[in-house]
Amino acid sequence: MLRKGLLFTFLISVLVLAACGQSDTKWDEVQEAGEIVAGTSGTLIAASYYTEEDELTGYDVEVMREIASRLDLEVKFEIMGIDSMLPALDSRIDVAVNDIEATDKRKEKFNFSDPYKYSYSTMVVREDDYSGINSLEDLEGKKAGGGATTIYSQIAEHFGAEVVTYGNAPNEAYLSDVNTGRTDVIVNDYYLSKFGVGAFPDFDIMLHPNLKFHPTEQAVVMPKDATKLQEKINEVLAEMREDGTLTELAKQFYGEDASQRPEGEIEEIEGLDL
C-alpha cells in the first residue's frame, strides 16, 4: 500500500515537472534564438503600419521593440492578416501584437500579457447622415466592413449587421467603402478609428459623436503554455508603465495616453460571447 502511495506521488511529481517544463519551452526557444518573432498586420494606422519611407512602426510595433530590447532580444516582425495571426502562434510566430483584445474566450486558448492599451469601441459612419445609425440597434440590416474573426465584427453581427470581410487590406479600403456606400459602417477601436478618419479628410466619413461602447484591453498574445515568456513580458511592461515609456509611446502615436483607462461613461454590451 505504501509502495502504491509512493508511486502515485512520484507520478504526480513527474507530471507537474513536465508541465513546468512545457510552460518554459517558448521562453527557452526565444532565448536560444536570441530573437522573438512577432506577428502584426502593418495595415493599422497608429498601431502597426508602414511610413512613406516603407518603415514599419506604430504603437504596438514600438512597444514590442522596446519589450524585446529590454529582454536583450532582437525582434522580427512577420506581416500577416488578423484572421491568420492567432492560428500562427502554433507555428510561425512567438507572439502577436496587433491591437488584439484580451477576451475571456481567447484566454482559454492563449496567454495574454498585462494590458498595454485601454480603449473602447465606436463606429465610422458617413458624415452626412451617420449612415442612418443612431444606436447600436440601428446596425440591423447595415453592411459593416471588418475582419472575419474580429471582436468588432462579432459586435456588428450581434446587432444584425451583415459583415463585409477583407483580407489584410489597408485602412483606406475599409474607409473608402463607407465613403462610397459599398458599406455603411466600421465598428472598431476608438483610437484606430480616429486616426483612420483623420488620414483621409476628403472622405465623407466621421467618428459617430454619440456612441461609446464595449470597453477593451489590448495585450501581447502568446501560446497558452508560454507562462515564463508571459512573466518576462509582464515584468518589462510594468517597468515601461512605471518609467513613463508606455505613456510616451501612446501620446506619440495616438495624441492621447492610451496606456491608461479612458474616462467617461462607456456602454457595456450584454449577451456577447467573446
Which candidate, 136, 131, 173, places its Cα nearest to that of 156? 136
Helix/strand/coil for 136? helix
Burial of 243 (0-12, 13-18, 19+ CB in 10 A): exposed
The strand pairing partners of 188, in sequence order, are 122
Strands 43-44 and 213-218: unpaired
- Strands 95-96, 43-44: pairing is unpaired
Over residues 104-159, the pLDDT tens digits come to 999 999 999 999 999 999 999 999 999 999 999 999 999 999 988 888 999 999 99
Q: What is the CATH number of domain 119-215?
A: 3.40.190.10
Alpha carbons 194 and 256: distance in angstroms, whole number = 11
Spatial separation of the C-alpha atoms in residues 48 and 118, rounded to whole Å: 16
- Report residue 90's pLDDT band, with 50, 70 and 90 as the boundaries: confident
User: Domain map of the chain by residue range?
Assistant: 18-116+219-254, 119-215
Nearest alpha-carbon partner for 174 in 160, 188, 161: 188
Task: Provide the whole-model pTM.
Answer: 0.83
What average pLDDT does the segment 201-223 reach?
Answer: 96
Task: Write the Ramachandran bin of 209: left for phi over 0, alpha for psi from -120 to 50, otherwise beta.
Answer: alpha
> pLDDT grade, residue 48 (50/70/90)?
very high
What is the per-residue pLDDT across 4-20, written as a single tens digit (0 to 9) for each? 444 444 444 444 444 44
Q: Which amino acid is at 209?
A: P
Which distant-in-sequence residues (6+ apart) come within 8 Å of 273 by Cβ?
Answer: 105
- Do the domains at 18-116+219-254 and 119-215 have one common CATH topology? yes
Rounded mean pLDDT, 214-239: 97
Give residues with Cβ within 8 angstroms of 174, minimum separation 6: 124, 145, 146, 166, 183, 186, 196
What span, in angstroms and rounded, lies between the C-alpha atoms of 260 and 25? 32
Cα separation, 80 vs 10, in Å, equals 45
The answer to whether residues 126 and 179 touch, using CB atoms and an 8 Å cutoff, is yes
Tell me the average pLDDT across 219-248: 98
Q: Please give the CATH topology (third level) of the domain spanning 18-116+219-254.
A: D-Maltodextrin-Binding Protein; domain 2 (3.40.190)
